[in-house]
Structures are given as C-alpha cells and as structure tokens.
Structure 1
Amino acid sequence: MIAMRYRIALPADYPMEIIERRIAERGHLTDGLPGLGLKAYLYSRAGEDGAAANAYAPFYLWRTSEGMRDFLSGPGFAALCASFGRPAVESAFAWFGQWSGDVAEARYAMVEKLPMAASTGMGALIDVQEGWRGGEDVLAVAAAFDPASWTLVRLSLSRRPFEPDGGGARELYRVGRVSLG
C-alpha cells in the first residue's frame, strides 16, 4: 500500500463550512474508487479539538500505484487544484494499514510525523507498527515511511478526540467522511 496526503492551509477567517459542505456534496465520489483502500476526509478548525489552524488535509491509503496515479491525473484532483491551487502531495510506503467495518463512524483523526534517526534500523519500524494499535475507540490505523526524508507517518481514526501532545508531532483533525475503495 501507499500512504498519500496533502494539507491545504486555510486563512484564520476562512469559513470552514465551505470545506464541510464540499466533503458532504463530493465525498461520495471516491467511494469504490479503483485502487483505493481508504480515504479519510480530514479538516481542522483553528482552536477546536487541539487544532492550531484551519486546514483541509485528506489522507489516503492506496492499494495500487495505478489508482493513485489515476486519481492525481483525474477530474477530482483537478477540481481541488482549481479551487485551492495544486498542493504538495506527500507519499510514503505503508508498512501497515488496518480498519474496522465501522470505520465510517470515525469523527477524529491524528496524524503523526516522526523523524527516523540514522541509527534506526528498518526492523524497528515493524516493532513500532506491531505495538501501535490505539484504544477501543480507534477504528483505523496506518503506519508508513518516507525514505526521502526518513520520516515515519502514522494515522489513527477514532470515535473520540485525541489529546494534543504539546510538542507539535501530532496533527489533530476532524473526520468529515471516510470512503472505501
């Protein structure tokens, strides 16, 4: 699998209802998308649920590179670019991705980006993945690594909000919708 995400920073006075409406009206278009495992429509409102800023930040788990390619070159992503400009798209090799049948009930998300020390062996990533499952309210988890920046990226989707870490390694979001391929 391939993890993919982009984050569109929005002004402090941006009416976030526009993002919520966009998700409600267009989110179903990625249901059943070829090559997609899971797409979480993530967004944040400054000052709510531990979020520092307004943002729209979808997170994808692709089963195939062709699905990712076709999405990025297709009309849905073109419409996003027309509205917000072309975002920088981050991708990483997924070590792990698992979600429950009731993942659509997720309302909160946490994305962590953690640097991997040069002394960290790849076997340690497997240990991190195996020990990181979340609590009973967690409905989806994923772990991926970006070998260009040697960064570990982790996603968790939950029914309940996450606590901010205070150090900035966690990005906290609301989940507007979850689509499955």
Structure 2
Amino acid sequence: MKTTLKLSFITLLSASIFACAEDTPEPIVPLEAILVEDLAAPNDVINRNTGEVTEVRPFQFFSLEENALVEETEDWDLAFKGTTIRVNATKNVTAAVVTGIFDEIAEVPTSATFATDSGESFAIPTGSGNGWYNYNSATFTVTPIPGRVLLVKTTHGNYAKIEILSYYKGNPPAAEIDPMSTPSAHYTFRYILQPNGTTTF
C-alpha cells in the first residue's frame, strides 16, 4: 500500500512538472537586421547631349530570403538598376512604401497599400520624392528620404521591412559625395525578414 501511494505521488508530480513545462511560452528571439553593402546596380549609359541610351545594363536581382544576388530565373524578390527598384510580379511579390522609423515599425501597418509591378507602373514609385529617394538638381545627388521604409511580401509569402541607407559606394556622408567621382548606384540598405509568414517584426 505504501509503495502504491509513493508511485502515485511520483506520477502526479511528474505530470505537474510536464504541464508546467508545456505552459511555459517559448522565448521570443528578436529578429536581427541584415546589412547589405554596396550592391552595385549601375544605370544604362546615356548620351547627355542626345538622351540616347548607348549601353543597356542589366538589373541586379536580389533574394531577401537568401540575402544574395541571384539569377533572373531564380526566386528573386527585388531587382535594382539605377534608382529603379522592381518587384518580382511573376512570383506575386508585392511592396508598399510607408512613412515611419525603421526600428519602430513592429508590424506591417494595416494602412499599408501593397501593389506589384505592372507594365510601366512600379510598386515602389520612381522619380524624386515619389518613392524612396530625393534628387537634388543643385548638387546632382540622390539621397534616401528620411523616414521612408519599404515593405515587401516575398516570393515565399514572408514580410520584410527595408531601409535604404545610401546610394553611393562606401556609404559616405552626404557632405562628402562628389557626383563626378563618387560611384553611384551602389546600394547600402538594411532589412528585417520575418520568416514565419506573420506580419510582426
């Protein structure tokens, strides 16, 4: 009888410990920002006198899931050339441009309007002041608009938030950019990808 009581007590204690272990929530591991530096995506060469394109240069295709440049035939999310950023419409990639502080955007805003590329219409608008950058015609420089964040739904259906930090090689301070000698179309940006399909970062 004593043995039976002892075993029952041990069984009850084990079940209690197991139940507590099951109720303990998994620790939340914060997502870390990935830094991409000097992604070179030069624009077409244009004759400044005639406006004619003398050399067509390719887009550079980037996978947010792989954090790497990939071939056009692979699962790319974004394609860069000059100041233009395309999304992979054939794989249902969509994007939205929102205003906010990168570090403070903890979730995809319900107000964000996602779109994909269609013909000459881009999900990430082109032109100074329209999307991610401003062009200063006095200094001939391109600078990211402070507080502009790109949201992207990837080929795998996961969400990412992106902040473009620089358009010039080496990410120089704006005051040190010489449009005649500082190589442009070298993107430095950071992004956070939520790999589990949820809208939180």
For this structure pair, what is the TM-score category when the shorter chain's length is used for normalisation?
A: under 0.3
> By percentage of residues, which structure has more strand?
1
Structure having greater relative contact order (Cα 8 Å, sep ≥ 6): 1
Q: Kindly name which structure, 1 or 2, has the bigger radius of gyration based on alpha carbons.
A: 2
> Quick check: which one's helix share is greater?
1
Query: Normalising by structure 1, what TM-score?
Result: 0.24
TM-score by length of 2: 0.23
